[in-house]
Structure 1
Amino acid sequence: MTDSAATHPTRLERVRTDAGAEVAVLTFAHGQLNLFDQSMFDALRSDVAGLAENPPRAVLLRAEGKVVSAGVDVHIFAGLAAEQAADLWQELFAGICHPLEALPCPVVYAAHGLTLTAAFEIALACDIILASPNAKFGLVENVVGLTPSMGGPQRLAERAGSGRARELVMTGDLYDATTLQSWGVVNAVHDDVDSEARALAARLADGPTCAHDATKQIISAWRSGGVAHADSITSEVSGALFATEDLRGAVRSFLDVGPGKATYQGR
């Protein structure tokens, strides 16, 4: 591991699409294994806080190196009391997973190789997961007598069903991208996943950002309270879109020149 990687385990860049929309690219860059040690968790909390404070119009999470991540540095767990472990999980939910899910823009995750434990759980908190055919995923916490505790089991159950979630977590096996695509966990598999993920993030950033946020709010309501709860908030969430410049401009564009010609500014 280089000194630079040890000091800066993540890299957050903000880039512009050809149409001028801002995309934030958050890269895991923590040595050959991209292990989630305390410095990695601290960096991610800081990065996600920055994204929440100043949201772009799309986010891409990716990694450099041979693997996305070989998992959590087990030194983090050594000597933890039960109360300390509970506090750790609360901090990771509050600092990474929940604010990542709550970002008012699409979040894309690109997995090009081995994606274990925390890296996989963070992927499951994103909106869309793209993977390389060579990617493998696993929640292997059973090797240290633990269950995944950053939301992996429940988010797997949401995407793939509770039976598949129990299988994946209890066996601790590795699963390839094609298998997880067939289960609904991975959205798509691409040979050049990094390029495809960048292109998708740019496409989403150029789109109706406020509408994407509304979609996330409605789905979040369904996740927490089912169809009835989602229905109960939809009228307000969708109604608010009619006050946005993007919707008003897109409606005018549709009526004047037909569909597919509107441009969006994210407001």
Structure 2
Amino acid sequence: MSFQNLLINHAGRVQYIIINRESKLNALNKATLAELNVAVTDAFNNAAVGGIIITGAGEKAFVAGADISEFASFNVEQGRQLAQDGHTNVFNQIANGSKPVIAAINGFALGGGLELAMACHIRIASNNAKLGLPEVTLGLIPGYGGTQRLTQLVGRGKAMEMIMTADMITATDAYQYGLVNYVVAPTELLPKAEEILNKILLRAPLAIASAIRAVNASLSHDENGFDTEIAEFAKCFGTEDFKEGVAAFTEKRKPAFKGQ
């Protein structure tokens, strides 16, 4: 499929999904969210893709929010549907995906942009990045998981402060709060993301998928995370990768996992 708002690049088993609306600071409109759903689905279903890096085109912004003009006249039901569709089709899809997704935050990550980054499994920021949830300045609150994921990452007090003041924070602050995993120079952003993702891709793919499910279960009110961990742990014993991992350990060699 050809995309109007995304660029898709490959570096080995790493697939880049680049939000390509630079003149709009890569703001998320309906069309971009729809394309993200397709691109992420394709990547998860493509055996040649081991993991995803999401970033923004240009140097100014990862994603500087949502396209406000699209929902300025919405009523309550339309607002509910907007949030529900975003959760189901993009943000939860990424968070619950079977392959690792890294956000490479280059510049502004505001509103829906920060929510997109928080849906990813790992976040790396350039040292000039600015992050925040400014929705209350519009008479709104974050609607794509921001109130939940920010609280999970930085704690209730700091999440309350960031959401209610609507202040932007620096990449250094984001690192100190636990919102991002690393802060690097802009020129090192994508190399660092690739370095981490390529290290993950050396591990057993089915075990990585199980780890994602188990960790996410710890945050769910609908399931017991310990029970999920036990179930996912048990499933690993039925994989060829487990046999390969044990054999490689015994034979003192590097494993060659096949995701089977």
Q: State the TM-score, normalized to the length of structure 2.
A: 0.92
1:266 aligns with 2:255: no
Q: 1:127 aligns with which of 100, 121, 124?
A: 121
Would the aligned equivalents of 2:44 and 2:99 in 1 still touch at CA under 8 Å? no
Letter in 2 for 1:199: E
Q: Secondary structure at the match of 2:224?
A: helix
For 1:159-214, what per-residue CA distance to the aligned partner results, in whole angstroms no more than 9, with x for missing partners?
11011111111111110111111111101111111111122122212321111111
Of the three residues 36, 45, 51, the one matched with 1:58 is: 51
- Cα drift, residue 48 of structure 1: 2.4
Residue number in structure 2 paired with 1:196: 192
Equivalent of 1:165 in 155, 159, 163 = 159
8 Å contact kept, 2:64–2:112: no
Provide the rounded CA distance (Å) in 1 between the counterparts of 2:217 and 2:41: 22
Q: Is the contact made by 1:49 and 1:95 (CA closer than 8 Å) also made in structure 2?
A: no
Q: CA deviation at 1:266?
A: 2.1
Cα distance change on mapping 1:225 and 1:144 into 2, 3 Å:
closer
Shift of residue 11 of structure 1? 1.7
Indicate which of 220, 244, 255 corresponds to 2:250: 255
- State the distance in 1 between where 2:16 and 2:202 align: 15
Which residue in 1 is equivalent to 2:107? 113
What is the CA-CA distance between 1:54 and the residue it aligns to? 3.4
Q: Which residue of 1 aligns with 2:83?
A: 89
1:105, distance to aligned residue in structure 2 (A): 1.6
Query: Aligned equivalents of 1:52 and 1:264: distance in 2?
Result: 18
Partner Cα separation in structure 2 for residue 35 and residue 220 of structure 1 = 27
Q: Does 1:211 align with 2:202?
A: no
Partner of 2:29: 37
* Aligned partners of 2:101 and 2:122 also within 8 Å: yes
| In structure 2, C-alpha distance between the alignment counterparts of 1:9 and 1:30, rounded to whole Å | 6
- In 2, distance between residues paired with 1:13 and 1:116? 24
The percent of aligned pairs where both chains have the same amino acid is 26
Q: Is the 8 Å Cα contact of residues 130 and 186 (structure 1) preserved in structure 2? A: yes
1:24 paired with 2:18, answer no
- Other structure's SS at 2:99 match: coil
Amino acid paired to 1:247: F
Q: Distance in 2 between matches of 1:94 and 1:9?
A: 20
Match of 1:144 among 138, 141, 165: 138
Q: Which amino acid aligns with 2:252?
A: V
Unaligned runs of 5+ in 1: 1-6, 17-21
Question: Is residue 112–residue 194 contact of structure 1 (8 Å, CA) maintained in 2?
Answer: no
Contact 2:52 2:101 in 1 (8 A): yes
Aligned-partner Cα distance in 2 for 1:29–1:179:
27
Q: Which amino acid aligns with 2:46?
A: N
Letter in 2 for 1:125: A
What is the TM-score of this pair, normalised by structure 1?
A: 0.89
Secondary structure class of the residue paired with 1:104: coil
1:46 corresponds in structure 2 to: 38
**How far does residue 89 in structure 1 lie from its aligned partner after superposition?**
0.6
Deviation at 1:51, TM superposition (A): 2.9
Taking the aligned partners of 1:151 and 1:82, their CA distance within structure 2 comes to 18
Counterpart AA for 2:204: P
- CA RMSD for the aligned pairs? 1.9
